[in-house]
Amino acid sequence: MKKAGFARGFDAFVAGEEQRAGWSGRADAMTDAPATVAGPVPAEASLGRKIARSAVFMVALRGAFRLIGLVSSLVLLRLLAPSDFGVVGLITAALAILEILSELSFEAGLVRMAAPQRIHYDTAWTLGLLRNAIMALAIALSGPWLAAFVADPRVVSLAYVLAGITLLQGLSNVGVVDFQRRLEFDRFFRFQIFGKLAGTVVVLPLAFILRNYWALMAGIAATRLSMTALSYAMSSYRPRLSLAGWRELFDFSKWLLVANIEWVIDSYAMTFLTGRVAGPAAIGLYQVANRVASLPASEVAAPIRGPMYAGMSQAAHDMPQLRRQTLDGLFLSVAVITPMAVGIALLAQPIVDLFFGWKWVDAIPLVRLCALAALFDAIGHYTHNLYLVTHRQRRFVGVFAVALSIRIPAIILGAWLAGIDGAAFAMMVTAALNMVLWSVNIFPSAGIKFGAALAGVWRTVFAALVMTAIVLWLGQLWPEPRAFATGLARFFTLALAGGLTHISAQFAVWRLSGEPAGAEHHLIKTAAEAAGRFMPHGWLHARS
Protein backbone atom coordinates (compact mmCIF):
# COMPACT_ATOMS: atom_id res chain seq x y z
CA MET A 1 0.00 0.00 0.00
CA LYS A 2 2.85 2.39 0.81
CA LYS A 3 4.44 1.66 -2.53
CA ALA A 4 1.22 2.45 -4.38
CA GLY A 5 0.83 5.69 -2.44
CA PHE A 6 4.39 6.66 -3.30
CA ALA A 7 3.78 5.98 -6.99
CA ARG A 8 0.73 8.20 -7.03
CA GLY A 9 2.54 10.96 -5.15
CA PHE A 10 5.59 10.82 -7.38
CA ASP A 11 3.48 10.79 -10.56
CA ALA A 12 1.51 13.79 -9.32
CA PHE A 13 4.72 15.65 -8.53
CA VAL A 14 6.22 14.98 -11.97
CA ALA A 15 2.98 15.69 -13.82
CA GLY A 16 2.46 18.91 -11.93
CA GLU A 17 5.93 20.16 -12.78
CA GLU A 18 5.54 19.26 -16.46
CA GLN A 19 2.28 21.14 -16.62
CA ARG A 20 3.74 24.28 -15.12
CA ALA A 21 6.66 24.06 -17.53
CA GLY A 22 4.15 24.29 -20.36
CA TRP A 23 3.88 20.57 -21.04
CA SER A 24 0.38 19.71 -20.02
CA GLY A 25 -0.85 16.22 -20.73
CA ARG A 26 -4.03 17.70 -22.16
CA ALA A 27 -4.52 17.42 -25.86
CA ASP A 28 -4.77 21.17 -26.20
CA ALA A 29 -1.26 21.70 -24.92
CA MET A 30 -0.56 23.90 -27.90
CA THR A 31 -2.51 26.69 -26.24
CA ASP A 32 -0.28 26.58 -23.17
CA ALA A 33 2.98 27.33 -24.95
CA PRO A 34 4.42 30.81 -24.59
CA ALA A 35 4.30 33.08 -27.65
CA THR A 36 5.61 37.08 -28.75
CA VAL A 37 5.13 40.74 -30.07
CA ALA A 38 3.80 41.36 -33.54
CA GLY A 39 6.51 40.75 -36.10
CA PRO A 40 6.71 40.31 -39.85
CA VAL A 41 4.76 37.36 -41.20
CA PRO A 42 7.09 34.80 -42.78
CA ALA A 43 6.88 34.49 -46.54
CA GLU A 44 4.65 31.65 -47.67
CA ALA A 45 7.55 29.83 -49.30
CA SER A 46 9.45 29.64 -46.01
CA LEU A 47 6.57 29.31 -43.56
CA GLY A 48 6.31 25.55 -43.96
CA ARG A 49 10.04 25.15 -43.41
CA LYS A 50 9.90 27.34 -40.29
CA ILE A 51 7.07 25.20 -38.92
CA ALA A 52 8.98 21.99 -39.63
CA ARG A 53 12.14 23.28 -37.92
CA SER A 54 10.10 24.56 -34.99
CA ALA A 55 8.43 21.17 -34.63
CA VAL A 56 11.86 19.53 -34.44
CA PHE A 57 12.87 21.93 -31.64
CA MET A 58 9.68 21.20 -29.71
CA VAL A 59 10.10 17.42 -29.94
CA ALA A 60 13.77 17.81 -28.95
CA LEU A 61 12.73 19.93 -25.97
CA ARG A 62 10.25 17.28 -24.90
CA GLY A 63 12.96 14.63 -25.15
CA ALA A 64 15.43 16.79 -23.22
CA PHE A 65 12.84 17.33 -20.48
CA ARG A 66 12.27 13.60 -20.22
CA LEU A 67 16.00 12.85 -20.07
CA ILE A 68 16.71 15.47 -17.41
CA GLY A 69 13.68 14.31 -15.42
CA LEU A 70 14.78 10.67 -15.64
CA VAL A 71 18.33 11.38 -14.45
CA SER A 72 17.22 13.58 -11.56
CA SER A 73 14.45 11.16 -10.59
CA LEU A 74 16.86 8.23 -10.34
CA VAL A 75 18.99 10.23 -7.92
CA LEU A 76 16.09 11.63 -5.92
CA LEU A 77 14.46 8.23 -5.51
CA ARG A 78 17.53 7.05 -3.61
CA LEU A 79 17.85 10.12 -1.41
CA LEU A 80 14.29 10.98 -0.46
CA ALA A 81 11.47 9.01 1.13
CA PRO A 82 8.16 8.19 -0.57
CA SER A 83 6.37 10.51 1.87
CA ASP A 84 8.54 13.43 0.68
CA PHE A 85 7.31 12.93 -2.87
CA GLY A 86 3.81 12.34 -1.59
CA VAL A 87 3.35 15.65 0.25
CA VAL A 88 4.91 17.67 -2.59
CA GLY A 89 2.92 15.71 -5.16
CA LEU A 90 -0.32 16.41 -3.30
CA ILE A 91 0.09 20.16 -3.20
CA THR A 92 1.43 20.46 -6.77
CA ALA A 93 -1.43 18.30 -8.04
CA ALA A 94 -3.90 20.66 -6.38
CA LEU A 95 -2.24 23.60 -8.13
CA ALA A 96 -2.29 21.70 -11.43
CA ILE A 97 -6.06 21.32 -11.22
CA LEU A 98 -6.45 25.02 -10.47
CA GLU A 99 -4.26 25.89 -13.44
CA ILE A 100 -6.27 23.74 -15.82
CA LEU A 101 -9.63 25.06 -14.65
CA SER A 102 -8.51 28.71 -14.73
CA GLU A 103 -6.57 28.57 -18.00
CA LEU A 104 -7.90 31.21 -20.40
CA SER A 105 -5.08 30.93 -22.96
CA PHE A 106 -4.51 34.66 -23.36
CA GLU A 107 -1.14 33.96 -24.93
CA ALA A 108 -2.79 31.77 -27.56
CA GLY A 109 -5.07 34.71 -28.27
CA LEU A 110 -2.04 36.94 -28.82
CA VAL A 111 -0.58 34.39 -31.23
CA ARG A 112 -3.81 34.28 -33.21
CA MET A 113 -4.12 38.08 -33.51
CA ALA A 114 -2.86 39.50 -36.79
CA ALA A 115 -1.30 42.59 -35.20
CA PRO A 116 -1.64 42.70 -31.40
CA GLN A 117 -0.90 46.06 -29.81
CA ARG A 118 0.78 46.97 -26.52
CA ILE A 119 -2.61 47.16 -24.78
CA HIS A 120 -3.22 43.49 -25.64
CA TYR A 121 0.16 42.39 -24.28
CA ASP A 122 -0.21 44.49 -21.14
CA THR A 123 -3.74 43.25 -20.59
CA ALA A 124 -2.67 39.62 -21.00
CA TRP A 125 0.14 40.18 -18.49
CA THR A 126 -2.15 41.94 -16.00
CA LEU A 127 -4.83 39.27 -16.22
CA GLY A 128 -2.19 36.57 -15.86
CA LEU A 129 -0.87 38.26 -12.75
CA LEU A 130 -4.39 38.45 -11.29
CA ARG A 131 -4.98 34.79 -12.12
CA ASN A 132 -1.78 33.74 -10.37
CA ALA A 133 -2.67 35.88 -7.36
CA ILE A 134 -6.05 34.13 -7.08
CA MET A 135 -4.43 30.70 -7.45
CA ALA A 136 -1.83 31.61 -4.82
CA LEU A 137 -4.58 32.62 -2.39
CA ALA A 138 -6.51 29.41 -3.12
CA ILE A 139 -3.45 27.24 -2.52
CA ALA A 140 -2.61 29.04 0.71
CA LEU A 141 -6.19 28.67 2.00
CA SER A 142 -6.38 25.01 0.98
CA GLY A 143 -3.18 24.10 2.83
CA PRO A 144 -4.77 23.41 6.23
CA TRP A 145 -7.63 21.48 4.63
CA LEU A 146 -5.28 19.30 2.56
CA ALA A 147 -3.09 18.73 5.63
CA ALA A 148 -6.12 17.52 7.59
CA PHE A 149 -7.26 15.38 4.65
CA VAL A 150 -4.00 13.39 4.56
CA ALA A 151 -3.19 13.85 8.27
CA ASP A 152 0.20 15.43 7.49
CA PRO A 153 0.90 18.92 8.90
CA ARG A 154 3.87 19.40 6.55
CA VAL A 155 1.43 20.24 3.76
CA VAL A 156 0.56 23.59 5.37
CA SER A 157 4.02 25.12 5.14
CA LEU A 158 4.50 23.69 1.65
CA ALA A 159 1.22 25.27 0.56
CA TYR A 160 2.32 28.69 1.81
CA VAL A 161 5.67 28.46 0.00
CA LEU A 162 4.07 27.24 -3.22
CA ALA A 163 1.58 30.10 -3.00
CA GLY A 164 4.43 32.60 -2.85
CA ILE A 165 6.17 30.95 -5.82
CA THR A 166 2.94 31.02 -7.81
CA LEU A 167 2.42 34.70 -7.10
CA LEU A 168 5.96 35.61 -8.20
CA GLN A 169 5.63 33.47 -11.31
CA GLY A 170 2.69 35.63 -12.33
CA LEU A 171 5.19 38.45 -12.98
CA SER A 172 6.73 36.53 -15.93
CA ASN A 173 7.25 38.67 -19.01
CA VAL A 174 4.48 38.18 -21.57
CA GLY A 175 6.95 39.33 -24.24
CA VAL A 176 8.31 35.80 -24.64
CA VAL A 177 5.08 35.02 -26.48
CA ASP A 178 6.85 36.48 -29.52
CA PHE A 179 9.04 33.38 -29.72
CA GLN A 180 5.95 31.56 -30.93
CA ARG A 181 4.48 34.36 -33.02
CA ARG A 182 7.74 34.63 -34.97
CA LEU A 183 8.33 30.88 -34.97
CA GLU A 184 11.58 31.38 -33.06
CA PHE A 185 11.38 28.05 -31.31
CA ASP A 186 15.15 27.82 -30.96
CA ARG A 187 14.88 30.70 -28.46
CA PHE A 188 11.87 29.05 -26.86
CA PHE A 189 13.95 25.88 -26.55
CA ARG A 190 16.70 27.75 -24.67
CA PHE A 191 14.16 29.55 -22.50
CA GLN A 192 12.50 26.32 -21.36
CA ILE A 193 15.61 24.16 -21.04
CA PHE A 194 17.51 26.73 -18.95
CA GLY A 195 14.64 26.78 -16.48
CA LYS A 196 14.57 23.00 -16.27
CA LEU A 197 18.33 22.83 -15.77
CA ALA A 198 18.15 25.48 -13.04
CA GLY A 199 15.69 23.36 -11.11
CA THR A 200 17.87 20.26 -11.50
CA VAL A 201 21.04 22.09 -10.44
CA VAL A 202 19.29 23.22 -7.26
CA VAL A 203 17.32 20.11 -6.32
CA LEU A 204 20.11 17.52 -6.58
CA PRO A 205 22.69 19.06 -4.22
CA LEU A 206 19.96 20.10 -1.77
CA ALA A 207 18.64 16.55 -1.78
CA PHE A 208 22.07 15.36 -0.63
CA ILE A 209 22.18 18.07 2.06
CA LEU A 210 18.59 18.22 3.33
CA ARG A 211 17.37 14.69 2.58
CA ASN A 212 13.73 15.84 2.77
CA TYR A 213 10.83 17.36 0.85
CA TRP A 214 12.22 20.90 1.00
CA ALA A 215 14.75 19.95 -1.67
CA LEU A 216 11.87 19.21 -4.05
CA MET A 217 10.17 22.49 -3.25
CA ALA A 218 13.47 24.34 -3.78
CA GLY A 219 13.74 22.71 -7.21
CA ILE A 220 10.24 23.88 -8.09
CA ALA A 221 11.10 27.41 -6.98
CA ALA A 222 14.35 27.42 -8.96
CA THR A 223 12.61 26.26 -12.14
CA ARG A 224 9.74 28.71 -11.97
CA LEU A 225 11.51 31.77 -10.68
CA SER A 226 14.52 31.35 -12.96
CA MET A 227 12.15 31.28 -15.93
CA THR A 228 10.50 34.45 -14.63
CA ALA A 229 13.90 36.14 -14.56
CA LEU A 230 14.87 34.68 -17.95
CA SER A 231 11.69 36.02 -19.51
CA TYR A 232 12.98 39.55 -18.91
CA ALA A 233 16.54 38.71 -19.93
CA MET A 234 15.49 37.15 -23.24
CA SER A 235 12.77 39.63 -24.21
CA SER A 236 13.15 43.42 -24.28
CA TYR A 237 9.41 43.92 -23.79
CA ARG A 238 8.47 45.49 -20.47
CA PRO A 239 4.82 44.96 -19.50
CA ARG A 240 2.66 47.48 -17.65
CA LEU A 241 -0.51 47.16 -15.65
CA SER A 242 -3.49 47.61 -17.97
CA LEU A 243 -6.91 46.13 -18.72
CA ALA A 244 -7.58 48.21 -21.82
CA GLY A 245 -7.60 45.21 -24.20
CA TRP A 246 -9.67 42.84 -22.09
CA ARG A 247 -12.62 42.69 -24.49
CA GLU A 248 -10.59 41.32 -27.40
CA LEU A 249 -8.79 38.78 -25.23
CA PHE A 250 -11.91 37.55 -23.47
CA ASP A 251 -13.72 37.33 -26.80
CA PHE A 252 -11.13 34.73 -27.78
CA SER A 253 -10.71 32.99 -24.43
CA LYS A 254 -14.13 32.89 -22.77
CA TRP A 255 -15.17 29.64 -24.42
CA LEU A 256 -11.81 28.02 -23.66
CA LEU A 257 -12.61 28.23 -19.95
CA VAL A 258 -15.58 25.92 -20.59
CA ALA A 259 -13.36 23.75 -22.79
CA ASN A 260 -10.93 23.30 -19.88
CA ILE A 261 -13.70 21.71 -17.82
CA GLU A 262 -14.41 19.39 -20.74
CA TRP A 263 -10.70 18.51 -20.91
CA VAL A 264 -10.70 17.55 -17.24
CA ILE A 265 -13.71 15.27 -17.79
CA ASP A 266 -12.19 13.71 -20.91
CA SER A 267 -8.79 13.20 -19.26
CA TYR A 268 -10.04 11.53 -16.10
CA ALA A 269 -13.27 9.83 -17.19
CA MET A 270 -11.57 6.54 -18.09
CA THR A 271 -9.78 6.33 -14.75
CA PHE A 272 -12.76 7.07 -12.53
CA LEU A 273 -15.40 5.22 -14.54
CA THR A 274 -13.39 2.02 -14.94
CA GLY A 275 -12.31 2.20 -11.31
CA ARG A 276 -15.95 2.30 -10.28
CA VAL A 277 -17.02 -0.54 -12.58
CA ALA A 278 -13.92 -2.73 -12.81
CA GLY A 279 -11.99 -1.97 -9.62
CA PRO A 280 -8.60 -0.46 -8.69
CA ALA A 281 -6.58 -3.20 -10.42
CA ALA A 282 -8.16 -2.16 -13.71
CA ILE A 283 -7.08 1.43 -13.12
CA GLY A 284 -3.48 0.33 -12.66
CA LEU A 285 -3.54 -1.78 -15.81
CA TYR A 286 -5.03 1.03 -17.86
CA GLN A 287 -2.73 3.77 -16.58
CA VAL A 288 0.44 1.79 -17.23
CA ALA A 289 -0.72 0.56 -20.64
CA ASN A 290 -1.93 3.98 -21.71
CA ARG A 291 1.26 5.70 -20.60
CA VAL A 292 3.31 3.50 -22.94
CA ALA A 293 0.78 3.35 -25.76
CA SER A 294 0.27 7.11 -25.93
CA LEU A 295 3.99 7.99 -26.19
CA PRO A 296 3.76 9.00 -29.88
CA ALA A 297 0.84 11.30 -29.10
CA SER A 298 2.30 12.80 -25.92
CA GLU A 299 5.96 13.02 -26.97
CA VAL A 300 5.59 13.90 -30.66
CA ALA A 301 2.07 14.95 -31.66
CA ALA A 302 1.44 17.29 -28.71
CA PRO A 303 4.76 19.21 -28.92
CA ILE A 304 4.50 19.87 -32.66
CA ARG A 305 1.00 21.33 -32.39
CA GLY A 306 2.48 24.50 -30.89
CA PRO A 307 4.54 25.42 -33.98
CA MET A 308 1.69 24.38 -36.25
CA TYR A 309 -0.74 26.58 -34.35
CA ALA A 310 1.66 29.52 -34.68
CA GLY A 311 2.09 28.87 -38.41
CA MET A 312 -1.65 28.61 -38.99
CA SER A 313 -2.15 31.84 -37.03
CA GLN A 314 0.25 33.58 -39.41
CA ALA A 315 -1.97 32.49 -42.29
CA ALA A 316 -5.33 33.06 -40.58
CA HIS A 317 -6.21 36.04 -42.80
CA ASP A 318 -5.23 34.32 -46.05
CA MET A 319 -7.68 31.46 -46.50
CA PRO A 320 -5.87 29.68 -49.37
CA GLN A 321 -2.62 29.74 -47.41
CA LEU A 322 -4.42 28.63 -44.23
CA ARG A 323 -5.80 25.63 -46.10
CA ARG A 324 -2.33 24.73 -47.31
CA GLN A 325 -0.81 25.11 -43.85
CA THR A 326 -3.59 23.04 -42.28
CA LEU A 327 -3.20 20.22 -44.76
CA ASP A 328 0.61 20.30 -44.60
CA GLY A 329 0.49 20.04 -40.82
CA LEU A 330 -2.08 17.24 -40.96
CA PHE A 331 -0.03 15.25 -43.45
CA LEU A 332 3.14 15.70 -41.39
CA SER A 333 1.46 14.72 -38.11
CA VAL A 334 -0.11 11.61 -39.61
CA ALA A 335 3.14 10.59 -41.34
CA VAL A 336 5.18 10.89 -38.14
CA ILE A 337 2.93 9.41 -35.47
CA THR A 338 1.13 6.66 -37.42
CA PRO A 339 4.09 4.26 -37.77
CA MET A 340 4.99 4.82 -34.10
CA ALA A 341 1.48 4.13 -32.81
CA VAL A 342 0.88 1.15 -35.09
CA GLY A 343 4.33 -0.20 -34.19
CA ILE A 344 3.50 -0.10 -30.48
CA ALA A 345 0.21 -1.90 -31.15
CA LEU A 346 1.99 -4.59 -33.18
CA LEU A 347 4.71 -5.13 -30.59
CA ALA A 348 2.48 -4.92 -27.51
CA GLN A 349 3.20 -8.49 -26.43
CA PRO A 350 7.02 -8.29 -26.44
CA ILE A 351 6.86 -4.83 -24.87
CA VAL A 352 4.82 -6.14 -21.94
CA ASP A 353 6.71 -9.45 -21.65
CA LEU A 354 10.16 -7.87 -21.74
CA PHE A 355 9.70 -4.59 -19.91
CA PHE A 356 6.64 -5.01 -17.67
CA GLY A 357 6.93 -8.59 -16.45
CA TRP A 358 4.54 -11.51 -16.25
CA LYS A 359 2.29 -9.79 -13.68
CA TRP A 360 1.23 -7.33 -16.38
CA VAL A 361 0.23 -9.85 -19.05
CA ASP A 362 -3.37 -8.54 -18.92
CA ALA A 363 -2.08 -5.18 -20.18
CA ILE A 364 -1.21 -6.58 -23.63
CA PRO A 365 -4.64 -6.01 -25.24
CA LEU A 366 -4.86 -2.66 -23.45
CA VAL A 367 -1.60 -1.47 -25.00
CA ARG A 368 -2.92 -2.34 -28.47
CA LEU A 369 -6.24 -0.61 -27.96
CA CYS A 370 -4.76 2.44 -26.24
CA ALA A 371 -2.15 2.88 -28.99
CA LEU A 372 -4.83 3.04 -31.69
CA ALA A 373 -7.07 5.24 -29.54
CA ALA A 374 -4.19 7.66 -28.95
CA LEU A 375 -3.48 7.73 -32.69
CA PHE A 376 -7.07 8.60 -33.62
CA ASP A 377 -7.32 11.13 -30.81
CA ALA A 378 -4.07 12.81 -31.86
CA ILE A 379 -5.31 13.21 -35.44
CA GLY A 380 -8.66 14.52 -34.25
CA HIS A 381 -7.04 16.93 -31.81
CA TYR A 382 -4.91 18.37 -34.59
CA THR A 383 -8.06 20.04 -35.97
CA HIS A 384 -8.42 22.01 -32.72
CA ASN A 385 -5.86 24.49 -34.04
CA LEU A 386 -8.21 25.29 -36.91
CA TYR A 387 -11.12 25.98 -34.56
CA LEU A 388 -8.99 28.48 -32.64
CA VAL A 389 -7.35 30.34 -35.52
CA THR A 390 -10.71 30.72 -37.30
CA HIS A 391 -12.25 32.06 -34.09
CA ARG A 392 -14.77 29.23 -33.68
CA GLN A 393 -14.25 28.54 -29.98
CA ARG A 394 -17.99 28.30 -29.35
CA ARG A 395 -18.34 25.59 -31.97
CA PHE A 396 -15.27 23.90 -30.46
CA VAL A 397 -16.97 23.71 -27.06
CA GLY A 398 -20.17 22.41 -28.63
CA VAL A 399 -18.43 19.69 -30.64
CA PHE A 400 -16.44 18.71 -27.56
CA ALA A 401 -19.69 18.32 -25.61
CA VAL A 402 -21.07 16.02 -28.32
CA ALA A 403 -17.83 14.01 -28.33
CA LEU A 404 -18.06 13.53 -24.56
CA SER A 405 -21.73 12.55 -24.82
CA ILE A 406 -20.60 9.72 -27.09
CA ARG A 407 -17.50 8.69 -25.17
CA ILE A 408 -18.75 8.63 -21.56
CA PRO A 409 -21.72 6.26 -22.11
CA ALA A 410 -19.57 4.10 -24.41
CA ILE A 411 -16.91 3.67 -21.71
CA ILE A 412 -19.55 2.78 -19.10
CA LEU A 413 -21.17 0.26 -21.43
CA GLY A 414 -17.84 -1.23 -22.46
CA ALA A 415 -16.68 -1.60 -18.85
CA TRP A 416 -19.99 -3.16 -17.85
CA LEU A 417 -19.91 -5.70 -20.70
CA ALA A 418 -16.22 -6.60 -20.82
CA GLY A 419 -14.39 -4.92 -17.97
CA ILE A 420 -11.31 -2.81 -18.63
CA ASP A 421 -10.77 -4.31 -22.11
CA GLY A 422 -14.29 -3.32 -23.09
CA ALA A 423 -13.76 0.21 -21.80
CA ALA A 424 -10.49 0.51 -23.75
CA PHE A 425 -12.23 -0.76 -26.89
CA ALA A 426 -14.88 1.90 -26.37
CA MET A 427 -12.11 4.50 -26.08
CA MET A 428 -10.64 3.37 -29.39
CA VAL A 429 -13.98 3.35 -31.23
CA THR A 430 -15.02 6.74 -29.88
CA ALA A 431 -11.59 8.14 -30.74
CA ALA A 432 -12.13 7.13 -34.37
CA LEU A 433 -15.67 8.52 -34.38
CA ASN A 434 -14.61 11.76 -32.71
CA MET A 435 -11.76 12.17 -35.17
CA VAL A 436 -14.37 12.31 -37.92
CA LEU A 437 -16.66 14.49 -35.80
CA TRP A 438 -13.95 17.10 -35.18
CA SER A 439 -13.07 17.18 -38.88
CA VAL A 440 -16.54 17.41 -40.43
CA ASN A 441 -17.40 20.35 -38.18
CA ILE A 442 -14.44 22.52 -39.18
CA PHE A 443 -12.98 21.49 -42.55
CA PRO A 444 -15.90 22.86 -44.63
CA SER A 445 -15.64 26.21 -42.81
CA ALA A 446 -12.07 26.54 -44.05
CA GLY A 447 -12.91 25.29 -47.53
CA ILE A 448 -10.99 22.04 -47.04
CA LYS A 449 -12.33 19.11 -49.04
CA PHE A 450 -12.05 15.66 -47.57
CA GLY A 451 -10.67 14.38 -50.84
CA ALA A 452 -7.72 16.73 -50.44
CA ALA A 453 -7.14 15.49 -46.89
CA LEU A 454 -7.28 11.84 -47.94
CA ALA A 455 -4.92 12.51 -50.85
CA GLY A 456 -2.14 13.39 -48.44
CA VAL A 457 -2.61 10.61 -45.87
CA TRP A 458 -3.39 7.53 -47.96
CA ARG A 459 0.32 6.86 -48.57
CA THR A 460 0.93 6.73 -44.81
CA VAL A 461 -2.05 4.40 -44.32
CA PHE A 462 -0.79 2.14 -47.12
CA ALA A 463 2.73 2.06 -45.66
CA ALA A 464 1.32 1.22 -42.21
CA LEU A 465 -0.60 -1.71 -43.68
CA VAL A 466 2.54 -3.00 -45.42
CA MET A 467 4.48 -2.62 -42.16
CA THR A 468 1.77 -4.52 -40.30
CA ALA A 469 1.91 -7.42 -42.76
CA ILE A 470 5.71 -7.63 -42.58
CA VAL A 471 5.93 -7.45 -38.78
CA LEU A 472 3.20 -10.07 -38.33
CA TRP A 473 4.90 -12.33 -40.88
CA LEU A 474 8.32 -12.00 -39.24
CA GLY A 475 6.73 -12.57 -35.83
CA GLN A 476 5.31 -15.86 -37.06
CA LEU A 477 8.67 -16.92 -38.50
CA TRP A 478 10.45 -16.09 -35.24
CA PRO A 479 8.24 -17.12 -32.29
CA GLU A 480 8.84 -15.32 -29.03
CA PRO A 481 11.67 -17.09 -27.14
CA ARG A 482 11.91 -17.67 -23.41
CA ALA A 483 15.39 -16.22 -22.94
CA PHE A 484 15.38 -12.50 -22.19
CA ALA A 485 18.41 -11.66 -24.37
CA THR A 486 16.98 -13.48 -27.37
CA GLY A 487 13.59 -11.89 -26.80
CA LEU A 488 15.19 -8.46 -26.69
CA ALA A 489 17.01 -9.15 -29.95
CA ARG A 490 13.75 -10.30 -31.53
CA PHE A 491 11.96 -7.15 -30.34
CA PHE A 492 14.54 -4.76 -31.77
CA THR A 493 14.73 -6.75 -35.00
CA LEU A 494 10.97 -6.55 -35.51
CA ALA A 495 10.93 -2.87 -34.58
CA LEU A 496 13.76 -2.06 -37.01
CA ALA A 497 12.21 -4.15 -39.78
CA GLY A 498 8.86 -2.47 -39.25
CA GLY A 499 10.33 1.03 -39.29
CA LEU A 500 12.40 0.43 -42.42
CA THR A 501 9.44 -1.21 -44.16
CA HIS A 502 7.16 1.73 -43.43
CA ILE A 503 9.69 4.32 -44.59
CA SER A 504 10.52 2.38 -47.74
CA ALA A 505 6.88 1.74 -48.61
CA GLN A 506 5.81 5.34 -48.05
CA PHE A 507 8.60 6.90 -50.05
CA ALA A 508 8.29 4.31 -52.83
CA VAL A 509 4.60 5.09 -53.25
CA TRP A 510 5.39 8.80 -53.08
CA ARG A 511 7.94 8.49 -55.88
CA LEU A 512 5.55 6.40 -57.98
CA SER A 513 2.87 9.05 -57.44
CA GLY A 514 5.09 11.72 -59.00
CA GLU A 515 6.48 13.16 -55.72
CA PRO A 516 3.42 15.29 -54.86
CA ALA A 517 3.67 18.03 -52.24
CA GLY A 518 3.15 16.64 -48.77
CA ALA A 519 4.80 15.33 -45.64
CA GLU A 520 7.53 13.54 -47.56
CA HIS A 521 8.92 16.82 -48.92
CA HIS A 522 9.08 18.37 -45.44
CA LEU A 523 10.67 15.25 -43.92
CA ILE A 524 13.36 15.04 -46.60
CA LYS A 525 14.25 18.73 -46.37
CA THR A 526 14.28 18.71 -42.57
CA ALA A 527 16.48 15.60 -42.52
CA ALA A 528 18.85 17.13 -45.07
CA GLU A 529 19.07 20.32 -43.05
CA ALA A 530 19.73 18.39 -39.84
CA ALA A 531 22.43 16.36 -41.58
CA GLY A 532 24.00 19.55 -42.90
CA ARG A 533 24.41 20.84 -39.36
CA PHE A 534 26.53 17.85 -38.38
CA MET A 535 28.44 17.26 -41.62
CA PRO A 536 31.60 19.20 -42.54
CA HIS A 537 30.88 22.36 -44.52
CA GLY A 538 30.46 21.62 -48.18
CA TRP A 539 30.27 17.82 -47.70
CA LEU A 540 26.71 17.56 -48.98
CA HIS A 541 27.48 19.78 -51.97
CA ALA A 542 30.50 17.67 -52.81
CA ARG A 543 28.37 14.54 -52.74
CA SER A 544 25.59 16.00 -54.88
- What pTM, to 2 d.p., does this model score? 0.71
Task: Encode pLDDT of 71-116 as tens digits.
Answer: 776 677 678 777 787 788 778 878 887 887 777 777 777 777 767 8
* Burial bucket for residue 80 (CB in 10 Å: 0-12, 13-18, 19+): buried
Task: Encode pLDDT of 341-353 as tens digits.
Answer: 999 999 999 998 8
How far apart CA 496 and CA 447 sit, in angstroms, is 40
pLDDT at 58: 62
Task: Encode pLDDT of 413-427 as tens digits.
Answer: 998 898 889 999 999
Task: Encode pLDDT of 320-379 as tens digits.
Answer: 888 888 888 888 889 989 999 999 999 999 998 888 777 788 889 999 999 999 999 999
What average pLDDT does the structure give for the chain? 80
Sign of CA dihedral 275, 277, 278, 282: negative
pLDDT at 4: 35
pLDDT at 74: 65
The average pLDDT across 403-421 equals 92
Q: How confident is the model at residue 252 (pLDDT cuts 50, 70, 90)?
A: low
pLDDT at 107: 75
pLDDT at 540: 45
CA distances from 481 to 106, 470, 489, 496 (A): 54, 19, 10, 18
Determine which helix (DSSP H) or strand (DSSP E) holds 454, and give its type and residue range.
helix 450-477
pLDDT at 433: 96
Closest CA to 184 of 311, 290, 88, 2: 311
Higher model confidence: residue 141 or residue 189?
141
Residue 290 has pLDDT above 50, yes or no: yes
pLDDT at 342: 96
pLDDT at 63: 65
Those residues whose C-beta lies under 8 Å from the C-beta of residue 336, and which sit 6 or more positions away, are 296, 300, 301, 304, 519, 523
